[in-house]
A and B are shown apart, each in its own frame.
Chain A
């Protein structure tokens, strides 16, 4: 089966976000941008399925600024994706709009499996995979820590609040990745060079004729309340005293 992997370009996870002084958002000028960590896991899983013979082709797609081509889609192809689709737009597209665009891509590409990250570390929404599943009427295996494909069955072990849960889905299906699904490989220099010759299709949202107008308006973005500086205690006895004062120790 063909596997489709949607990826997102986000502020690198090691960078501490700075809120803009005018309260309009987080400052993304001149900061390192990378592929969303959960999406790297999604590509890795798709490539592993191909290496096992369970997948025939891995197609990666991103929606965002033109720079995503070099930042994100090149890495994805260097990791093993066969070809890439860039849906270029300078507008911010909400999860619902992304899901609608991805549905249009699915209608065109007819994948047997779509693997997405469980959430993007910028908006922390955790919605796109589930929304895409709803729009397509496909089953969903969210927060996956194990995926097994055999025939038209996709068996997904999910990370849930109390532990793990296993579900059996009928393909075509949607899977969203959790951190422990796998350890993504590095894109090596020779593979990055080779990736440059792998196909890349450039599109715009207008090509898909779907409504991606935002439904949410961000009124302001502020820094969370700062915690006041604490005290250091010298030894365990002093700490015990503090715990008693807090009422958690007798």
Chain B
């Protein structure tokens, strides 16, 4: 089977999420990549070095900057004449483009796969991760999004792919990129961090979140996450949100502070290797999934913990 992987990049480098998709694709067959964008030759050269990669299709056109689905999807549909499957990371860009490709090909997409069970059979989470479904497709072409935390990352060196230019990109003329507001952070990226310190509503306000959660995260070299309650209350921006509707993470260590553990939050973090919970309510549901729990007032416990590290 010939597979195509849509490469997530920021015009300078291949994003980590792509590497897990390459691993999933290699379980299906030969791996080709698509680097689409504007002025992204350097990304294609870098992508060609990813272990196990054959051809790298480079589509470089002004209409492809900002990954607008209206312009990217027809390009991918064109490439599907020579491929049996196309895989995307289940990132906001992947989730935006993939279903558009699937509908144009008249196939059902398989969302957020956790494993490849066979050439047409996959597992995926449903009901906020409370159930795992095994599904078999009868479609001839496969369109798949891949949960990044469920597959190992392919090595970024050792590959010897060849870069080949793709033409045919065009502006569909129905959508325009206006602007982006990207939150700046010196800390590791949430979805690829080894350690995450996450805060909830119990922090009470933005000042407490910054003065209690962030110093602890910095001591541990951790990324900072949040529950939906903390985001809705405005303590932190929404791209911090971990959960069914936010980011799905699976770090080595997840430290949940002042988070009760609603099922929508657990959906985003319960595959973490070790879960540590700090909460003053010993009946909080978070303690049912935590490997290590500390019952106590976070306003006393967290500064003490940060001080002793």
Q: Do A and B come from one complex?
A: yes
Enumerate chain A interface residues (CB-CB to B < 8 A): 11, 13, 16-17, 19, 26, 94-96, 99, 118-119, 121-135, 137-140, 142-143, 145, 155, 158-170, 173, 178-180, 214-224, 227-228, 230-233, 235-237, 239-240, 242-243, 246, 248-250
| CB contact under 8 A between A163 and B110, given known A215-B139, A232-B294 | no
Instruction: Give the residues from 95 to 149 in chain B that come closer than 8 angstroms, CB to CB, to chain A.
Output: 95-104, 106-112, 121, 125-139
Which residues of chain A come closer than 8 Å to B106, judged between CB atoms? 96
Which residues of chain A come closer than 8 Å to B109, judged between CB atoms? 95-96, 125, 127, 131
CB-based contact B175/A170 at 8 Å: yes
CB-based contact B175/A167 at 8 Å: yes
With A and B bound together, what is the CA distance between A215 and B222 in angstroms?
42
With A and B bound together, what is the CA distance between A25 and B158 in angstroms?
43
Would you mind naming 9 contact pairs between A and B with Cβ atoms under 8 Å apart? A95-B108, A130-B98, A139-B172, A163-B239, A216-B137, A222-B131, A224-B129, A230-B292, A248-B222
CB-based contact A237/B308 at 8 Å: yes
CB-based contact B180/A164 at 8 Å: yes
Which residues of chain A come closer than 8 Å to B276, judged between CB atoms? 239, 242-243
Which residues of chain B come closer than 8 Å to A125, judged between CB atoms? 109, 111
The contact size tier of chain B is 35 or more
CB-based contact B308/A233 at 8 Å: no
Q: B131 touches which one: A19, A119, A164 (CB < 8 A)?
A: A19
Q: Does B274 contact A (CB under 8 A)?
A: yes
CB-based contact A124/B126 at 8 Å: yes
CB-based contact B132/A221 at 8 Å: yes
If A159-B239, A180-B232, A224-B130 are given as contacts, then 15 extra A-B residue pairs at C-beta distance below 8 Å, sorted by A number, are A26-B131, A96-B107, A130-B98, A130-B99, A131-B100, A132-B103, A133-B100, A139-B172, A140-B96, A142-B69, A161-B92, A161-B247, A169-B176, A217-B136, A236-B308
With A and B bound together, what is the CA distance between A96 and B117 in angstroms?
23
CB-based contact A162/B110 at 8 Å: no
CB-based contact B138/A217 at 8 Å: yes
Nearest chain A residue, comparing its CB with the CB of B219? A249
CB-based contact B134/A219 at 8 Å: yes
Which residues of chain A come closer than 8 Å to B309, judged between CB atoms? 240, 243, 249-250
Q: Does B70 contact A (CB under 8 A)?
A: yes
- Interchain nearest-CB distance for A30 vs B (Å): 17
Main secondary structure of the interface of A (DSSP, over half): mixed
Main secondary structure of the interface of B (DSSP, over half): mixed
- Interchain nearest-CB distance for B15 vs A (Å): 9
With A and B bound together, what is the CA distance between A218 and B121 in angstroms?
10
Which residues of chain B come closer than 8 Å to A235, judged between CB atoms? 294, 296
Which residues of chain A come closer than 8 Å to B174, judged between CB atoms? 137-139, 169-170, 173
**Counting chain A CB atoms within 10 Å of each CB, which of B70, B222, B289 scores highest?**
B70
- Interchain nearest-CB distance for B103 vs A (Å): 4
Which residues of chain B come closer than 8 Å to A214, judged between CB atoms? 108
- Interchain nearest-CB distance for A164 vs B (Å): 5
Q: Does B38 contact A (CB under 8 A)?
A: no
| CB contact under 8 A between A134 and B104, given known A125-B109, A179-B228, A232-B294 | yes
Q: Does B68 contact A (CB under 8 A)?
A: yes
CB-based contact A17/B127 at 8 Å: yes
Nearest chain B residue, comparing its CB with the CB of A238? B294
With A and B bound together, what is the CA distance between A131 and B131 in angstroms?
25
- Interchain nearest-CB distance for B287 vs A (Å): 7
Nearest chain A residue, comparing its CB with the CB of B74? A134
Nearest chain B residue, comparing its CB with the CB of A180? B238
Q: Does B293 contact A (CB under 8 A)?
A: yes
Nearest chain B residue, comparing its CB with the CB of A13? B264
With A and B bound together, what is the CA distance between A73 and B69 in angstroms?
31
**Counting chain A CB atoms within 10 Å of each CB, which of B130, B183, B287 scores highest?**
B130
With A and B bound together, what is the CA distance between A161 and B191 in angstroms?
10
CB-based contact B127/A11 at 8 Å: yes
| CB contact under 8 A between A219 and B195, given known A13-B264, A121-B127, A239-B294 | no
